[in-house]
Structure 1
Amino acid sequence: MNEIIQQKLMDIEEKHGVKILYAVESGSRAWGFPSKDSDYDVRFIYINQPDWYLSIDPQGIGTKRDVIEEPINDLLDISGWEITKALRLFRKNNPPLLEWLRSEIVYYQKYAFVDNMRTLESDVFYPNSMLYHYLNMAKKNYREYLQGPEVRIKKYFYVLRPVMACKWIEKYNMTPPISFHELLEDTVPEGKLKNEINQLLKRKLAGDEFDIEPRIDVINQFVEFEMERLEEYAKSLNIEVKDPTELLDGLFRDTLKEVWQEY
């Protein structure tokens, strides 16, 4: 599959006249709990040629789209963000983008862009927005899937992971790791709760196609308590954020020069 993804990335570069800077796995495979039929969620950052930026129309408007999206099939979902869009989202501390930077499944990386971007993360880190992103994700999935006496058991992972991410942010005041295993080991103490979560994880990784089953009360109680507590914690934060725009402008210009050396 890796060869297919590599070829697809090369085809995208040729078709759109761009250079891909970084491409990673971003879904359940990167999180550490894929099902046997999980697709590949490939996400990438790319840069256009200089003339694309040197025009009177801003990027992202009209025909100057700042995303590339390939048709989705049952096996491969691949899409990318143009570099200035990615940097604007980076400035906002966008959690999905920061997860891309932590993915251990890297399909492609070239030029200094991503390494330089990582060095600036402390200049854009803003726990409030990240906490609310993960909290809203947890509440939405909990509300939709886990409130009845019988629930979609596998959906626990899509509530537990954002709750544990919030606990990591609270504990370390930094972006959480992408790995479900790492979050679980650090944020959930030994005991019945962790045993239940580990048992579910083993079943999922083994390809056990569990769906509607009686809810697991110890997990429900944990996520209900933590969502309420973490929301109060997020409300209590009052953090002044520096404007990193000048730094990000410099990163963009340096990357443009490195990739298109004639610029």
Structure 2
Amino acid sequence: MASPPSALRSIPSHFSPERLADVDARLAGIIRDHHVTIGLAIESGSRAWGFPSPDSDYDCRFLFVRRREDYLSPWQKRDVIETPLEHDMDVNGWELGKAIKLLLKGNAVVIEWLMSPIVYQGAPEFRDGLLGLANAHTDRAAIARHYLHLGERQRNTYFADHKAISLKKIFYALRPATALRWLRLHAEAAIAPMDFPTLLEQCDPPEAVVRLGHELIERKAVTRELGSGPLPPPLRDFIDDEFAAARACFPARAHRISEDARRDAAAFFRSMLRD
């Protein structure tokens, strides 16, 4: 099954032509060998988040739909397709049904894929339909708790003992903290921007946080290693304060997917199978 001609493609001019060709070839092989249609293939990770290094991996993630006969079988195929990590290229994807269920549960990863500014291929109706589901039915508190759990895990893993750490790991906690601040200050929105500089610009953090954040981005863009050091106090305080504010603003509670959400998701899923 071949994918329809892609109407979505947005590749930065600085991308390696060789790596771009490698990703395109890997996606074409997946379509051919697994008999799937790829609805959306994007770049995730630091390149899409706005703080790449010269040696950042190419992290392609994609959403796919299987053939109708594969769904109408007692022997269901896996809901992921994984390919070997080669050099600096990592290409893996999720089946549409898996992505929809995670999205409605408040999984921010799926939503970030839909928001990625770097698109290898995709159909507008596929991405727009999933974004419509996210905007209509995503629980913003569940999204916030996703970022909170992610950020606290990174904070406790790398920075708990106040020792010197690889400075590039600061982004692992700083970006979730900034996304949480953005969500807290934009009560009408459920989806925060994926791009970290945009988050900084739109959530009015302390001046020292903005300065240090941009300094780290600029240094990371030109060097493979930022070196190591303790977590700078302004960033430490910002991260801890935002996590504390998020725990108060977005308390843990059971999340139930509404019948309206299930109905709309099922209708979209069936429409993609028909297409």
Aligned to 1:88: 101
Confirm or deny: 8 A CA contact 2:56 2:88 kept in the other structure: yes
Closer, same or farther in 2 for the Cα pair 1:240/1:144, shift >3 Å?
Answer: closer
Aligned to 2:225: 209
2:263 pairs with 1:250? no
Confirm or deny: 8 A CA contact 1:32 1:181 kept in the other structure: yes
CA RMSD of aligned residues (A): 2.0
**Where do 1:1-263 residues align within 5 Å?**
1-57=19-75, 59=76, 64-110=77-123, 112-147=125-160, 148-172=162-186, 173-189=189-205, 191-207=207-223, 209-235=225-251, 242-243=258-259, 244-258=261-275
Deviates more, 1:194-203 or 1:114-123: 114-123
Confirm or deny: 8 A CA contact 1:93 1:124 kept in the other structure: no
Closer, same or farther in 2 for the Cα pair 1:73/1:188, shift >3 Å?
Answer: farther
Between the aligned partners of 1:197 and 1:3, the Cα distance in structure 2 is 32
Closer, same or farther in 2 for the Cα pair 1:187/1:237, shift >3 Å?
Answer: farther
Deviates more, 1:112-121 or 1:177-186: 112-121
Between the aligned partners of 1:109 and 1:238, the Cα distance in structure 2 is 34
Confirm or deny: 8 A CA contact 2:85 2:91 kept in the other structure: yes
Deviates more, 1:213-222 or 1:21-30: 213-222
Q: Which runs of 5+ in 1 are unaligned?
A: 259-263
1:40 counterpart letter in structure 2? Y
Q: Identity over aligned residues, as a percent? A: 33
Between the aligned partners of 2:164 and 2:174, the Cα distance in structure 1 is 17
Summarize deviations over 1:177-207 as a string: whole Å, max 9, x none.
Answer: 1100000111243522221222112111122
2:190 counterpart letter in structure 1? M
How far 1:149 moved relative to its partner?
4.1
Between the aligned partners of 1:139 and 1:91, the Cα distance in structure 2 is 22
1:139 counterpart letter in structure 2? E
Between the aligned partners of 1:252 and 1:50, the Cα distance in structure 2 is 11
TM-score, normalising length: structure 1: 0.90
How far 1:32 moved relative to its partner?
0.6
Summarize deviations over 1:33-85 as a string: whole Å, max 9, x none.
Answer: 1111111111101111111111234x4xxxx2111000112311111111111
SS in 1 for 2:251: helix
Deviates more, 1:190-199 or 1:25-34: 190-199
Confirm or deny: 8 A CA contact 2:105 2:255 kept in the other structure: no
How far 1:236 moved relative to its partner?
8.1
Confirm or deny: 8 A CA contact 2:165 2:230 kept in the other structure: yes
Between the aligned partners of 1:245 and 1:106, the Cα distance in structure 2 is 28
Confirm or deny: 8 A CA contact 2:60 2:91 kept in the other structure: yes
Between the aligned partners of 2:45 and 2:233, the Cα distance in structure 1 is 27
SS in 1 for 2:115: coil
Between the aligned partners of 2:131 and 2:252, the Cα distance in structure 1 is 28
How far 1:93 moved relative to its partner?
2.5
Between the aligned partners of 2:114 and 2:248, the Cα distance in structure 1 is 29
Confirm or deny: 8 A CA contact 1:23 1:42 kept in the other structure: yes
